[in-house]
Amino acid sequence: MGGVSVVMRHAEGLADRGHNVSVLAPRRAPGLWPRVREWAILTRDLLHGVAGRRFGASGVETAEPATLEAADLSGFCAVIATGHQTAPWVHDSQHPNAFYFIQGDERALSERAEATWGLPLRRFTVSRWLSALLESHRLPVEGVVPNAIDPAEMYATTSPTQRPSRVIALYHRHPVKGPDVLVEALHRLRERHPATEATIISARPPRHRLPDWAEVTLRPSRTALRQLYDRSAVCLHTSRVEGWGLVPMEAAACGCAVVATASHGPQEFLEPGRSMLEVPVGDAAGLADAAATLLRDADSRARFAEAGVADVARFSWSASTDQLEAILRRPNAT
């Protein structure tokens, strides 16, 4: 998950500055159902051939306590919840310096998510639009810590005008990611531009029936992912709501022209009409039309791609770590 990779990136950034950082990922909450769910996920991972794959970060201790209660938080200067599942636990720990890093509008994932926003934790967000959303609920925010791209990992080696008629997109089965929109957009795009090819990246085998001509790659390495972006002309982003949007940001850094739904996140780092084309949420036909236009017009595609490269280059992990460190060091006003 992109949110997990972001957590690990921030953890590594703090560790590089001499902080002792631990990432705790409790395997289950109390009760029988979480235990059953854990085994179901393990079985699914084995069937999908992705079992045992874990994120890691240099200089960062990672631990998987059996339950939430098994983790001792007393030795930490600060504790950060990174999702609605862990926010109540961090609150219940009564740690004197407890934070909540909000990376998305998780109301689309759980009916309990909105209630966690109001917990007496010090909130910070990944994007300006999420900060504005919380403030509209009269919930103060400590600051915004944006995502970034490592230019040593994601960069272009192929000119935008020299790329084949290939689109790249993330597939995720959850409805908020718009998998149905992606399937329809691909079919419509092939009708408008029959030479179109597609690369689909996914964490698991797709549940939806994608076109036979679309190539699916499961959990590519960072090197392989950069190469997939570099061989693609256009990135399709189909989410209904997006906290940030790592895939379109990475694709833009690698020289892809981005066509995205108006799902909030991409507007944090790309400008509609200049460094990306934007269509209404759920508009599969609009995605197909915009992508077909860019695939046919190499000069226009190059302008959008070059503007995208420049826009995402404004963000750096170093600057984001500066912001995160400042928030963690700031005295608690309460």
Q: Look at the chain and report how many structural domains it folds into.
A: 2
Whether 155 is in a domain gets the answer no
pLDDT of residue 43: 67
For the segment 151-181, what is each residue's pLDDT rounded down to a tens digit?
A: 999 999 999 999 999 999 999 999 999 999 9
Does residue 205 share a domain with residue 295?
A: yes
- 281 & 300 share domain: yes
Euclidean distance between CA atoms 59 and 38, whole angstroms: 28
Measured distance CA(180)–CA(174) in Å, rounded: 10
On whether both 164 and 190 belong to a single domain, the answer is: yes
Indicate which CATH number applies to the domain containing 21: 3.40.50.2000
Kindly state whether residues 181 and 107 are assigned to the same domain.
no
Tokens coding 179: 């998998």
pLDDT number for residue 121: 97
- Quick one: 78 and 54 in the same domain? yes
Tokens of 255: 């020289």
Beta-strand relationship, 214-218 and 197-202: parallel
pTM above 0.85, yes or no: yes
Any residues with CB less than 8 A from the CB of 78 and at least 6 apart, and which?
A: 95, 97, 98, 99, 328
pLDDT for 121-147, tens place per residue? 999 999 999 999 999 999 999 999 999
User: Is there a single domain that holds both residue 105 and residue 126?
Assistant: yes
**What's the average model confidence in pLDDT over 73-79?**
90
Residues 204 and 137 in one domain: no
Q: Whole-angstrom Cα distance, residue 207 to residue 200?
A: 13
In a domain, 334, yes or no: no
Q: Does 165 lie in the same domain as 53?
A: no
Q: For residue 108, what pLDDT band results from cuts at 50, 70 and 90?
A: confident
238, 296: one domain: yes
79 and 140 part of one domain: yes
- 321 pLDDT above the threshold of 60: yes
Q: pLDDT for 177-227, tens place per residue? A: 999 999 999 999 999 999 999 999 999 899 999 999 999 999 999 999 999
- Contact indicator for 54, 43 with CB cutoff of 8 Å: no
Given a cut of 80, whether residue 49 has pLDDT beyond it is: no
State which residues form the domain around 95: 2-148+316-329
CB of 116 closer than 8 Å to CB of 83: no
Q: Are residues 244 and 322 in the same domain?
A: no
Angle at alpha carbon of residue 116, lines to 68 and 170, rounded to 5°:
85
